[in-house]
């Protein structure tokens, strides 16, 4: 079974899993190092503790658009110029 788990690896090679890892037997893993490191949910880049941001709160940061009232019903037409059947 394949499983993807997010983790942070410090400069000494210590791995900290960012979510619970429940395995029942010895397992192999492939590690992919990502270019950028984002702060964990409870600390900022300078290490200060902060409250975790709920994912739904991030939606409120998206830019607002001025769309016609029927935008959600006719999104194919507005996005692709397709006429409805």
User: pLDDT tens, 13-53?
Assistant: 999 998 888 888 999 988 888 876 565 554 555 555 456 67
Longest CA pairwise span in the chain (Å): 60
Q: pLDDT: is 9 or 38 the higher one? A: 9
How many Cβ atoms from other residues are within 10 Å of residue 80's Cβ? 8
Locate the domains of the chain by residue range.
Answer: 1-35
pLDDT digits (tens, 9 = 90+) for 48-81: 545 667 777 777 777 888 888 888 888 888 888 8
Q: Which ranges in 10-74 belong to alpha helices (H)?
A: 55-59
Identify the three-state secondary structure at position 8: strand
Give the model's pLDDT for residue 14. Answer: 92
pLDDT at 22: 86
């Amino acid at each position: 079974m394949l499983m993807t788990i997010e983790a942070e690896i410090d400069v000494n090679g210590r791995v900290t899993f960012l979510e619970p890892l429940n395995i029942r037997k010895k397992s192999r893993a492939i590690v992919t190092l990502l270019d950028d490191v984002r702060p964990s949910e409870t600390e900022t880049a300078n290490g200060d503790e902060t409250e975790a941001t709920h994912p739904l709160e991030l939606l409120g940061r998206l830019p607002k658009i001025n769309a016609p009232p029927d935008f959600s019903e006719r999104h194919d037409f507005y996005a692709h110029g397709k006429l409805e059947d």
